[in-house]
Structure 1
Amino acid sequence: MKQNKALIASALGAVIAMGALSAAPATAASKEKCYGIAQAGKNDCASATGAHSCAGQAKVDKDPGDWKYVATGSCQQMGGNLSPKK
């Protein structure tokens, strides 16, 4: 009986894990890089201009080379651009 419960629990865990993995690409697909809206220290990754190479290293607010992920279609409403300005 204990083996059946363990097997069921294991199978249920696998199903839940697979659901979580399949949801990630859908979430990532609904986002886009938005340049020129990141606050100092709150950018999502490397600068397009080469000023730095990592997240959280933006030195000034709204640098046109720094970006954040935003919901698809909302970048320009926020005053940003879909491509970096150099």
Structure 2
Amino acid sequence: MNNTNTLVTTALVSLITLGALGVQSTANAADKKDVEKCYGVAKAGKNDCKTMSNACAGHSVSDAQADAFIALPKGTCERIAGGSLEAPATK
């Protein structure tokens, strides 16, 4: 299995585990303070908001696209292999 597949698999297993434990993986408007953007772990087409290369949520073109993020409960992103709290630098 190559590194990208390992990264995506690890991220997905982490998210599924959190869901099984009853942890809310998306935020209501009232809970935004308890959420962080996690870059580089979203599956293709499953990002939460626009990216540097796409204008809409759900339009990322590849798994683990560096500029695509998903909203996760605070403290979760740093536990996911390949997850980053920082957006990649623009060129």
Give the shorter-chain TM-score range. Answer: 0.5 to 0.7
Map of 1:54 onto structure 2: 56
| Identity, % of aligned positions | 34
The CA RMSD over aligned residues, in Å, is 1.5
1:31-83 Cα distance to aligned partner (Å, 9 max, x none): 11000011000000011xx2101100000000110000001011011120001
Name the structure where helix makes up a greater proportion of residues: 1
Map of 1:39 onto structure 2: 43
Name the SS of the counterpart of 2:55 in structure 1: coil
Kindly report which structure 2 residues correspond to 1:4-83, keeping only aligned pairs within 5 A, or say none. 24-25=29-30, 27-47=31-51, 50-79=52-81, 80-83=83-86
Per the normalisation by structure 1, the TM-score is: 0.65
Cα distance, 1:58–1:24 mapped onto 2, change above 3 Å: closer
Name the SS of the counterpart of 2:32 in structure 1: helix
Counting matched residue pairs gives 61
Cα distance, 1:24–1:63 mapped onto 2, change above 3 Å: closer
Which structure 1 residue ranges, 4+ long, deviate > 2 Å from structure 2? none
Q: Which has the larger radius of gyration?
A: 1
Flag structure 2 segments of 5+ consecutive residues without an equivalent.
1-27
Please, which of 77, 84, 88 is the counterpart of residue 85 of structure 1? 88
Q: How far apart, in 2, do the equivalents of 1:76 and 1:61 lie? A: 18
